Amino acid sequence: MHYRTLGKTGIKVSPYCLGAMMFGAQGNPDPEDGIRMIHKALDAGINFIDTADFYSQGQSEEIVGRALKGRRDKVVLSTKAHLPMGEDPNMRGNSRRWLTQALDDSLSRLGTDHVDLYLMHRPDPDTDIEETLSVLSDLMRAGKIRAIGSSTFPACDIVEGQWVAERRGLQRMRVEQPPYSILNRGIEREVLPTCLKYGMGAMVWSPLAMGMLTGRYRKGQPMPDSARVKYFPEQMGDARRLDAVEQLIPVAEEAGLSLAHMAMAFVIAHPGVTSAIIGPRLMAHLDDALAGAGVVLDDAVLERIDAIVPPGSDVGRLVPDYDPPAVTDPSLRRRPAGARAAA
């Protein structure tokens, strides 16, 4: 396994990061199976694990914590906070009040006194970024965090965070965790260049486009009986995405690769990407991901991919992505009726 430096942190991580989102009730409910997968990934040379408090409402962190007993010092451990952890409106977000509690809760579930990387799972428009960076800086000084970062932040929010940290003497975000796949290349326009500019590592999620780049979802064929089809039927049945998959399959076949192996190799080929998160639910998923770990795409294959999905473009929309208030709040994009009439 060849290791890469995570931005300017000096921390060395594997190009594949084991994502633990599917460990627990929302994915694989057997904790022993999750522990076996974690051990197998570590034995294969993966030293980077990513989880979050929100995943199965803490169960994922508990499984990771159990699996790392006796092996914690060899692992770069990342977790996240922001998404709701209860009905209380203050049990979410990026405020000092919540992050202080959320981190302690995560450390307890993980069975450790620190995490190597602590990420804000999404932006929080209700909380001043200075407030968030201030508490994260304090938690770093307390020894509970080694480095901080963001997940699915727009480039403008990343830049604002960097400027606030510099002007206020606070700790800088060192890592971004954005979505990235052959079908969703939008971050190539601003997010990845911004990360490179500020020396931030990028650990990308959904490199298989929520499973569409596994070859299981085909145009004109019945959809698999999966949770993704149940919860995201429009996306998984998006004709544009299915058309792109049909064009990508022969590219992979002619290169002697499975579609999934080509998709994983594509994302880690970008110079701005440090690691790609694999999120197995079953041991077979992990085995397949590990089998493709050594795949390197040549320029001819990358150029054929570019011709199907141009650089910087998205084919359809990735549902769990972040929508800023400017998009979700009609009052921020529509003048009052009276003002429109007067104009």
**Residue 274 belongs to domain with CATH number:** 3.20.20.100
Q: What six digits make up the tokens of 178? A: 């954005």
Q: Is the pLDDT score of 343 beyond 60?
A: no
Whole-structure pTM value: 0.94
Bridge partners of residue 80, in order along the sequence: 119
Give the pLDDT score at 221.
85
Q: Report the distance separating Cα 295 and Cα 255, nearest Å.
A: 11
Continuous H helices in the chain: 31-43, 59-67, 96-110, 129-141, 155-168, 191-197, 227-231, 233-236, 239-254, 259-268, 283-291, 299-308, 325-328, 337-342
Question: Are the CB atoms for 21 and 60 separated by under 8 Å?
Answer: yes
Q: Is the pLDDT score of 14 beyond 70?
A: yes
Name which of 36-50, 65-79, 224-238 the model is least confident about.
224-238
Sign of CA dihedral 140, 93, 57, 282: negative
Mean pLDDT over 73-94 rounds to 97
Per cent of the chain over pLDDT 90 is: 85
The structural domain count of the chain equals: 1
Mean pLDDT over 76-91 rounds to 98
Left, alpha or beta for 209 (phi > 0: left; psi -120 to 50: alpha)?
left
55 is catalytic: yes
342 pLDDT band, cuts 50/70/90, is: low
Of the residues 16, 55, 180, 217, only one is catalytic, namely 55
Per cent of the chain over pLDDT 70 is: 98
Residue range 303-321, pLDDT digits in tens? 999 999 999 999 988 877 8
- Segments forming the whole domain that contains residue 61: 4-342
Give the pLDDT score at 340.
62
Mean pLDDT over 178-190 rounds to 97
Arithmetic mean of pLDDT over the chain: 95
Give the pLDDT score at 236.
84
Q: What six digits make up the tokens of 94? A: 């990026």
Residue range 147-166, pLDDT digits in tens? 999 999 999 999 999 999 99
Q: Report the distance separating Cα 335 and Cα 72, nearest Å.
A: 54
Residue range 204-234, pLDDT digits in tens? 999 999 999 999 988 888 887 777 777 778 8
Question: Are the CB atoms for 158 and 193 separated by under 8 Å?
Answer: no
Q: Report the distance separating Cα 156 and Cα 122, nearest Å.
A: 14
For residues 146 and 216, the model is more confident at 146
Q: Is the pLDDT score of 273 beyond 90?
A: yes
Burial of 145 (0-12, 13-18, 19+ CB in 10 A): buried
Give the pLDDT score at 341.
62
Nearest to 67 by CA among 110, 105, 100: 110
For residues 17 and 319, the model is more confident at 17
Q: Report the distance separating Cα 341 and Cα 151, nearest Å.
A: 41
